[in-house]
Amino acid sequence: LARYAVIGNPIAHSRSPQIHELFSQQTGKPLRYERLLAPVDGFTEATAAFVAEGGLGLNVTVPFKRDAYALAAGRLTARARLAGAVNTLSWRDGAWHGCNTDGVGLVSDLLRLGVRLNGASVLLVGAGGAARGVLQPLAEAGCVRLHIVNRTASKALELADAWRSTGVSPQTRVTAGGLADAALPGGWNLVINATASGLQDAAPDLPAGLYAEGAAAYDMMYGATPTAFMKQAEADGAALMADGLGMLVGQAAESFFIWHGVRPDPAPVLAALRETLM
Ligand code: ATR
């Protein structure tokens, strides 16, 4: 049986095995998908051991996405290079090849929810790896305006500068600033939370008045109940609030496609997963 796994630390909580097993049943592609716990300083050794046991593909999660990027240097897709991180490794021709499917997962989930990205003005909250990974797919989906805000404003400014210097999607105007910026304008069609604030069950410290009429709020985090960011967005007048479970399933579907050449339907898998969260 073809072997795949998700590698991280911690890893016990990962839902990827369940998602890939459901995709396998749906598409009739037989596979074995495990969890791999690697020591924080032992990523490369763990991937080598997995290959020696016949492993063909890895999903990579916290804290190893940068390590995976380094491991696949020279064999990265444009998406992975622009994201600066790898979440999908494929073993081919005796080497690891790296891709990043997080941004595609986000965009496909936004489209599933009926959020219009073409022509949209988007406020992206956060300037870490999660934010960086979604810039290209959002720009290529037709967003005309992307404003990055972060608790540490300098990191948002650096990310916006780095993005502009790539020259990708110049039709998208990318700017940056601080989180609680009093001058932060409203009128956003979509506000995305890419911060880690949800880990403390808190919402980022945003000013009120951000949402345009009919606007959406998307939290990359997810949970059994609406997240703190979703509640904040509802109070601030957002018309639609969603958590990141659909992004998780969407990135997995794209990884599955890279490995198996078939694009599974994420909808029934998302419904099944939502049920197990309740
Ligand atoms: P990731 O790769 O998941 O993006 P990261 O690189 O550690 O992780 O970035 C975490 C992001 O969450 C950062 O934008 C961080 O803001 P700072 O750069 O100011 O640290 C943001 N963050 C974490 N906790 C937060 C909180 N309580 N409120 C607002 N932003 C927070």
Q: Indicate if the pLDDT at residue 277 is higher than 80.
A: yes
The answer to whether the CB of 129 is under 6 A from ligand 1 is yes
Q: Is 65 in the active site?
A: yes
In this structure, is the dihedral angle defined by the CA atoms of residues 261, 25, 223 and 109, taken in order, positive or negative? positive
What is the CA(130)–ligand 1 centre distance, in A? 9
The predicted structure's pLDDT at residue 216 = 98
**Confidence class of residue 278 from pLDDT cuts 50, 70 and 90?**
confident
Give pLDDT, residue 115.
98
Mean pLDDT over 253-270 rounds to 97
Give pLDDT, residue 180.
80
The secondary structure element, H or E, covering residue 25 is helix 16-27
Residue 48 pLDDT: 98
Is residue 201 packed enough to be buried (19+ CB in 10 Å), middle (13-18) or exposed (0-12)?
exposed
- Name the pLDDT band for 182 (thresholds 50, 70, 90): confident
Is pLDDT above 80 for 217?
yes
User: What is this model's ipTM?
Assistant: 0.97
Distance 8 CA to ligand 1 centre (A): 19
Please give the number of the atom of ligand 1 that sits closest to the Cα of 132: 4
pLDDT for 63:
95
pLDDT number for residue 37 = 98
| Binding site membership of 204 for ligand 1 (Cβ less than 6 Å) | yes
Position 188 confidence tier, pLDDT thresholds 50, 70, 90:
very high
Sign of CA dihedral 142, 128, 226, 245: positive
User: Which residue's CA lies nearest to atom 9 of ligand 1?
Assistant: 128
Closest ligand 1 atom to Cα of 130: 4
Assess whether the C-beta atom of 126 lies below 6 angstroms from ligand 1. Answer: yes
pTM value is 0.96
Residue 268: per-residue pLDDT: 97
Q: What would the mean pLDDT of 6-22 be, rounded to a whole number? A: 97
**Phi, psi (degrees; rounded to nearest 5) at 65:** -65, -30
> CA 119, CA 160: separation in Å to the nearest integer?
19
pLDDT mean across residues, the chain: 96
Per-residue pLDDT tens digits for 97-136 = 999 999 999 999 999 999 999 999 999 999 999 999 999 9
CA-based nearest residue to 175, from 206, 139, 203, 209: 139
Q: How confident is the model at residue 198 (pLDDT cuts 50, 70, 90)?
A: confident
Query: pLDDT tens, 40-52?
Result: 999 999 999 999 9
Per-residue pLDDT at 181 exceeds 90: no
Atom of ligand 1 nearest to the CA of 179: 29
Residue 206 confidence (pLDDT): 95
Distance from the CA of 265 to the center of ligand 1, in angstroms? 32
Q: For the residues 9-13, what does the mean pLDDT come to?
A: 95
